[in-house]
Amino acid sequence: MEFIGDIMAGMAVDTSELHHLAERRVRDAELVYTKGRRELVELLAGLSRPATMPELVEQRPKLTLSSMYRNMTDLEVVGVVQKVIGTDEHTRYELSEDLIGHHHHSICTECGSIDDFVVAASTERSLTAALERALSESGFRPTGHRLDAVGICADCAS
């Protein structure tokens, strides 16, 4: 069985299952899961971090940037991919969290790179409890969270 990523701890989503889920979402929107769309899902699945469009093109020089942008936008609209906001002007994309599992991002303020990381389930429970406590007075009921670590990546630190 082929597993996506290498640090996707606890996210045992195999690639064929991923394509199956992605195709269903694309078809539900009455679109076709074309080779180009499939290829983008494949590329993103092979990374353990959000990627910019130029980074993806580098891996598939045969694909044209304009069609990749079109496909990426379609995949975003149907909920297969999501945009990730960093500290620089680049737009990065990753597979939707409900497809690959809940995780967090570490964002480098020097070079702008973003990596995925996961925290232990017990820590997730503590985070959830802390957010509920912090928000209890306001009447806001958190159903999830996005937590980014901001700092200096290993490359920039060395």
Q: Which residues bind Zn ion (CB under 5 A)?
A: 108, 110-111, 113, 124, 153, 156
Chain mean position to CA 47: 9
Q: Which is nearer to Zn ion, 48 or 113 (CB)?
A: 113
Q: Shortest distance, CB of residue 27 to Zn ion, whole angstroms?
A: 30
Q: Shortest distance, CB of residue 76 to Zn ion, whole angstroms?
A: 22
Q: Which is nearer to Zn ion, 24 or 125 (CB)?
A: 125
Instruction: Report yes or no: 93 and 72 within 8 Å, Cβ to Cβ.
Output: yes
Q: Which is nearer to Zn ion, 111 or 134 (CB)?
A: 111
The beta strands (E) that lie in 61-112 are given as 81-84, 92-95, 104-108
Q: How far apart are CA 51 and CA 94, in angstroms?
A: 7
Q: How far apart are CA 100 and CA 71, in angstroms?
A: 19
Q: Shortest distance, CB of residue 135 to Zn ion, whole angstroms?
A: 15
Q: Which is nearer to Zn ion, 9 or 31 (CB)?
A: 9
Rg of the chain on CA atoms, in Å: 17
Q: Shortest distance, CB of residue 104 to Zn ion, whole angstroms?
A: 6
